[in-house]
Structure formats: structure tokens, C-alpha cells
Amino acid sequence: MKFGDFEISIIRESTFKLDGGAMFGVVPKALWANVASADAANRVELSCNLLFIQTPNGNVLIETGMGPRWSEKERARYDLKTLIDHNNVLESIGLSNTDVSAVVLSHLHFDHVGGACVDRDGKLSPTFPKAKYYTQKGELEFAYKANARAQASYREADFKTLLDNNMLIALEGDHEILPGIKVHVSGGHTSHHQIITFESNGNHGVYFGDIIPTQSHLPPPWVMGYDHYPLETCDIKSRWLATAANKNWLVVFDHEPGVPWGHVQAERSKFIWKPFARDSLAVV
Ligand SMILES: [Zn+2]
């Protein structure tokens, strides 16, 4: 899709399922069951939606998804279905892994950085050999010292491999990755989670990461149980969604199982989702 001087595409990397109670935090099932249907194990359908942005100054991939490195037992636990070949992530748009110059990670949970590395000749190597990968320094530090509750969401090999290859840039605060592509430290989901914005020729867009994983999470109090700072997430959502609605920003949801991009409208105290057509996705 044309976006000013940029070309933007969604790559649906995988579908998976997580416990519905964990996905909706303190919201009772009697409410969330109206917007997300649960399977027999109480899991709701999710996906990993990567955003690929081609700019005149280089190509940026936002997030890497779950990746291919999962055992059969783990795949069954998450009902994980991998939809792409990680040796050729951009196949659906006719480009290759070497065409990526920057990879932006909202944070280092395994469903965001799991696709950062692949097994090549029995060795773990960065999936995008010519890219620099960007995360926040505070996120990286926390990933190494996460306590028992937070630890389960991190796999050290994902980011250690990037560090060993000198390909991980640990940012300290907000930063412009390439002209028009910026990261903003949000906190909320993790203390150094970052939201990504993209802007070209008067067009503005926002990739919320895990601050708003699906369109069902649009109401500010509907915050995931996984969040380390849920009250912060609620406030960030109110603030950023008001701006996105007022300025008609393009909005992207990282785990939305339906169409993950579109616009948000503010109607009285509610935010209403206006998705693009389904055929706007590179992989459907
Ligand atoms: Zn996630």
C-alpha cells in the first residue's frame, strides 16, 4: 500500500492462541466472550502481524513474530501455525531477507523477537543478515534479570545471538531509526516497551506493539493480564488513541487475527475500529 513516499505491507507471520483470561486481564469472560471466542482450552485466536516499510532511505521491518524454532509440544500448547518460510520472510512481496536494513522490536518477548534468528547449518544466525535490530537498553537489561513471573516470556538465545553478532542496537529513549520512522518509549506492557510511528508526506501511522494487541483491546481499561504496568497501559491507550482518531492516523495491531490495519474513530467515549479490506494483506 502506498503511504506517502513509503510502501507499506503487512506480513502475517503466524497464528497462535493464548488463554483468553490472560489476554483480557481483569475483564470478566462474560464481557470479552462477546468479542473473542474461546476454544475448549479457553484460548483465543491471535496472529503475529509484521509491518514492512519500504522507504527511500532503507527498508524497515517492525517485529519478527514467533519464528520457526519451536518443539512440537510448544506448538501444540499455543496451537502455533507458522505461515511463512523464515529464510524468505518477504517472499509474498517479491523481496528477500537481505533487503531489510533495520528491524525494530517493540520489546523482547518471544512472540516479537522469536523470528529474529534462524538455524543455518546447525548454527543460530540472524534472519536478516544485513540489518541492525533495535530495542531499548532497559528492555534488554530486564530480559536478563526478569523475575520468575516475567521470565517465561523471554528466550535468551533470541537476543543473545543478535548481541554476539554485533547486530543489536540498545537505544536509550525515543529515537528516529530512519527518516520518518520513530520509536517512542511507552512502558506499560514492559517498562521499556516502545511504540513505533511512521510518517511520510503528511501521512501518519502508528504500530502499537503490545499496548493494543487486537481491535478487541481498544477500550482503554481492556488491558492484558500479561502487562507489567497495566494502569500505565490504560493511560497510554487513552492518550495515543485520541491522537490517532483526531488526526486520522493509520493504526496497526500486532496480534489482531482479523484485518490488523485501518483507522480508529472516536465516538462519544468510545473508539470504533474501521479496518481496511481483507485483500490489503500480503498473506491472508
Ligand atoms: Zn506479544
Q: Where are the domains of the chain?
A: 2-280
Distance 129 CA to ligand 1 centre (A): 24
CATH 1.20.120.1200 fits 2-280, yes or no: no
Q: Indicate the average pLDDT of the chain.
A: 95
Q: Indicate whether 5 pLDDT > 60.
A: yes
The backbone torsions φ and ψ at residue 267, rounded to the nearest 5 degrees and listed phi first, read -130, 115
pTM check: above 0.85: yes
Instruction: Give me ligand 1 centre to Cα 232, in Å.
Output: 17
Distance 214 CA to ligand 1 centre (A): 10
CA of residue 248 to ligand 1 center, whole Å = 25
Contact 190, 139 (CB under 8 A): yes
User: Rounded to the nearest whole angstrom, what is the distance from the C-alpha of residue 46 to the centroid of ligand 1?
Assistant: 10
211 Cα: distance to centroid of ligand 1 (angstroms)? 9
Residue 186: which of 265, 258, 256, 106 has the closest Cα? 106
> How far, in Å, is the centroid of ligand 1 from the Cα of 1?
24
pLDDT above 70: residue 284: no
Ligand 1 centroid, distance to 150 Cα (angstroms)? 13
pLDDT, residue 282, reads: 64
- Cα(201) to ligand 1 centroid in Å equals 30
Q: How far is the centre of ligand 1, averaged over its atoms, from the C-alpha of 233 (Å)?
A: 14
Contact 154, 146 (CB under 8 A): yes
Among 111, 115, 117, residue whose Cα is nearest residue 48: 111
Q: What is the pLDDT of residues 151-162, one digit of tens each?
A: 889 999 999 999
pLDDT above 90: percentage of residues in the chain = 93
Q: Judge whether residue 78 has pLDDT over 50.
A: yes
**How close is the Cα of 245 to the center of ligand 1, in Å?**
23
Residue with cell 532497559: 138
Task: Tell me what pLDDT residue 283 has.
Answer: 54
Measure 224 CA to ligand 1 centroid, in angstroms.
10
**Does 92 score more than 50 pLDDT?**
yes
Mean pLDDT computed over 37-63: 97
Q: Mean per-residue pLDDT for 238-251? A: 97
Predicted confidence (pLDDT) at residue 42 exceeds the cutoff of 70: yes
Q: How far is the CA of 275 from the centre of ligand 1 (A)?
A: 20
State which residues have CB under 5 angstroms from ligand 1, the bound ion.
111, 210
Q: Is the pLDDT of residue 133 over 60?
A: yes
* pLDDT tens sequence across 140-198: 999 999 888 888 899 999 999 999 999 999 999 999 999 999 999 999 999 999 999 99
Angle (deg, nearest 10), helices 156-164 and 137-145: 130
Indicate if the pLDDT at residue 215 is higher than 50. yes
Check whether 14 has a pLDDT greater than 90. Answer: yes
pLDDT band at 70 (very low <50, low <70, confident <90, very high): very high
Residue 111 CA to ligand 1 centre (angstroms): 5
pLDDT at 65 over 80: yes
Span from the CA of 19 to the centroid of ligand 1 (angstroms): 13
- Tell me what pLDDT residue 152 has: 87
